[in-house]
Structure 1
Amino acid sequence: MRRLGLGKKGLEHQIEEVAQELVQIFAQAKGQPLDPMLPITNSACNVICTLAFGHRFSLEDKEFLKLMEALESGFKFIGSFFHTLYEIFPFVMKHLPGPHQKALLSIETVLSFGKKEVERHKEHHSLHEPRDFIDFYLLQMGENKDVPDCTFDDENLSQAIFDLFLAGTDTTSGTLQWALLLMASHPDIQDKVHKEIEDVFGSSQIIHYQDRKKLPYTTAVIHEVMRSKYVVLFGLPRRTTEDVDMLGYFIPKGTTVFPDFRSVLLDPKEWETPDEFNPHHFLDKDGHFVQREAFLPFGAGLRACVGEQLAWIEIFIFFTSLLRAFTFRPPGVKELNQEPVVGLTTHPHPYKLCAIPTSYP
C-alpha cells in the first residue's frame, strides 16, 4: 500500500477529483431531497478503481454500473443467513435455489471484472513503471515465478482485487452516509464545522488531507462519527499461534479470536457519553484535538486494517468537500432514523436529505 503512493500527492489529488465530482452530483439536486447512498457508494468504489486499476470510470459507464450492481448484491449476501448456510453446507447449497445463487453470480461478475483489467495490464506492459495494485502484483509474480509453491498467481490477484472492493467500498461509503445523517440531525454541530472551515480556509482555498491539523473540531467530528456509528462490529478472525493468558483468561493455541470493536468504542469507562454523538470526546478543554487510545475502528497492531490511511484520506476529503459546499437538512421530517441496519457492516436505514448549496437563497 505504501508503494502505491498512499500519503503522496498523486493519489490524494485523484481522490480530490472524485470528491468534486460527488459535489457536482449533489448540486444537481438544487436543494431538493436526495438519497445520498448511491452517489457516495459509486464515488468510494471509483477510488478503489483508481487504486487497483490506475484509472477511474465515468459514473455513467455501463460496465462500471454493472460492477456497482454486482458489488451491492455481494454486500447484501455476505454475512446474511443464506451466506452462513452456504459456508456450512456449500456442496448442498450450490445445487439449491435461493438468493445465494444471484449473489454468487454477482461475486463472479466482480472477479471477472478484475480479470479483464489484469489482462489489459498484461497487454500494455507497464511493469517497468508500475502505477497501480495490478502492476505491482504482476511485478511480484514475475520476480517469484521460479519460487516453489509461490502463491502469487492470477487467481489470487483476482481475489485480492475483490477484497479491495469488499473492504474499501462498503466501509467508507457507510461512514460517509452516517456522517451526513448526523450532520442533518445535529445542525448545531454542522454549523460549527462550517464556521471552522470558513474561518480557516475561506471560500476558495483547496483543503488537503494534511490540513486536518488546522481543523481540530472537524477532525473530532469525523472521529466521533466513526466511534458512535461504527460500521464494523467485529474485526477479521485471527488464530492464536501459542497459548495465551490474557487478564486471567486462558486462550489455548489454535483458538479463533474475533476482535470486538463495539466493546471498546462504546466502553463507558473510556467515554464520557458513550451512547451519544459527542465530538468533545476528542477535544481538550482548549478545543485542541486529542487522539484517544480506545479509538480502534481499524483494529490495532500488526493485523490492523492495511487500508486505514486510504480510508482516512477519503473520508476527510469527501466530508470537508461536501460540508464546504452544502448545508444538510432533513426533508420536512422531525428526525432521521439513527438505528443501524446490521449486516456485514452497519448502515443507516435508507434516508433522504436536502443538500442546500451554501450560496443557495
Structure 2
Amino acid sequence: MHGSSLNISDFQKNNLRDITDALLSVSNPKNPDSKVAALSSDKIIITVNDIFGAGFATVSGYLQWMFLYLINFPKMQAKIQEEIDGKIGLKLPRFDDRKYLHYTEAFINELFRHTSFIPFTIPHRTLWVDPYLFKPERFLNENGELNKNLAEKVMIFGMGIRKCLGEEVARNEVFIILTTILQHLKLEKPADHHLDLSPIYGLSMSPKPYQLQVVQRT
C-alpha cells in the first residue's frame, strides 16, 4: 500500500495473512448474490489507515502514562524487574511470557483501569474497593496469579460488536515494551522534580509534562 494506491500483487485469497488481506478478499465479490458489500480500494486504504492511526495513539498514550507511573511508584517498578529476572532473565521477551509474569500483567491492567485515558467509551462505573488507589495486586488471586476474570472487566477497549479489534495487539505491544525496557534499565524521577498524576483533558487524556532519568541496570 503506497499513497492512495493499493498494491495487491502478493494477495492470495486462500492465504489471508492479516486484516488487509481480509478486506481485499471482500473488495470485489465474484458472487452477484453475495450479501457482503464490496469495498473499494479507497475504503480499504482509509480503513487500514484508521486502524494504524488508532493503534498508534492508544499505545503511545499508554506508554506516556506507563513511564510516569513507573517513576512515581519505584517499588512497583522494582517488583516488576524482580519478576522479569526470576521468570525470563535476559532472554528476549515473547508474547507467550505474559502468562508467566503475573504481577507485570496486573500492573498493565491496573494502569489501564486507573488512567482511563480514553474517556469517550461505554458509560460505566466502578465497583472496585478503593477505586482511586493504584494497586496492581487487585488483579491477583490468593496464589499471586493473574485473575483473568477480573482483568476482563477493564473495558478501556470497549465491549461487544464495538470492541476495539486491536486490543490483543496493543496489550502485546505494551507488554513487550515494558519488559524489554525494565530488563536493562531503571527509570527514576529527578530529585527536584514534582510529579503530577492528574491528566490533561482532550479527546484522550494525556499526562502533564514530566522528566525521567534512565540508569543502566547492573
Q: TM-score range by the shorter chain?
A: 0.7 to 0.9
**Counterpart AA for 1:297:** I
Shift >6 Å, 4+ stretches? none
Task: Report which of the two structures shows the higher radius of gyration computed on alpha carbons.
Answer: 1
Task: State whether structure 2 residue 4 is matched by structure 1 residue 115.
Answer: yes
Q: CA deviation at 1:300?
A: 1.9
Question: What's the CA shift string for 1:204-235, capped at 9, x where partnerless?
Answer: x2221111121111110011110001121122
Task: State whether structure 2 residue 83 is matched by structure 1 residue 191.
Answer: no
Question: How many residues are treated as equivalent by the alignment?
Answer: 213
Contact 2:55 2:166 in 1 (8 A): yes
1 CA distance for matches of 2:128 and 2:192?
30
2 CA distance for matches of 1:172 and 1:331?
25
Q: Which of 134, 137, 148 is the aligned partner of 1:277?
A: 134
Q: Which of 40, 46, 61 is the aligned partner of 1:159?
A: 46
Secondary structure of the 1:115 match is: coil
1:127 matched residue in structure 2: 11
TM-score, scaled relative to structure 1: 0.54
Pairs within 5 Å for 1:20-169: 114-116=3-5, 118=6, 121-122=7-8, 125-128=9-12, 131-144=17-30, 150-169=37-56
TM-score, scaled relative to structure 2: 0.87
Task: State whether structure 2 residue 102 is matched by structure 1 residue 213.
Answer: no
2 CA distance for matches of 1:130 and 1:115?
22
Q: Which of 152, 161, 166 is the aligned partner of 1:302?
A: 161
Q: CA deviation at 1:302?
A: 2.8
| Structure 1 residues 188 and 149: alpha-carbon distance in aligned structure 2, compared to 1, 3 A threshold | closer
Contact 1:127 1:136 in 2 (8 A): no
**Counterpart AA for 1:215:** L
1 CA distance for matches of 2:66 and 2:137?
16
Q: Which of 173, 181, 197 is the aligned partner of 1:322?
A: 181
Q: CA deviation at 1:140?
A: 2.3
- RMSD (Å), alpha carbons: 2.3
| Structure 1 residues 189 and 148: alpha-carbon distance in aligned structure 2, compared to 1, 3 A threshold | closer
Q: CA deviation at 1:193?
A: 0.5
1 CA distance for matches of 2:30 and 2:216?
53
Question: What's the CA shift string for 1:36-83, capped at 9, x where partnerless?
Answer: xxxxxxxxxxxxxxxxx6xxxxxxxxxxxxxxxxxxxxxxxxxxxxxx
2:64 matched residue in structure 1: 177
1 CA distance for matches of 2:94 and 2:193?
35
| Structure 1 residues 283 and 145: alpha-carbon distance in aligned structure 2, compared to 1, 3 A threshold | same
Structure 2: tracts of 5 or more residues without a match: none
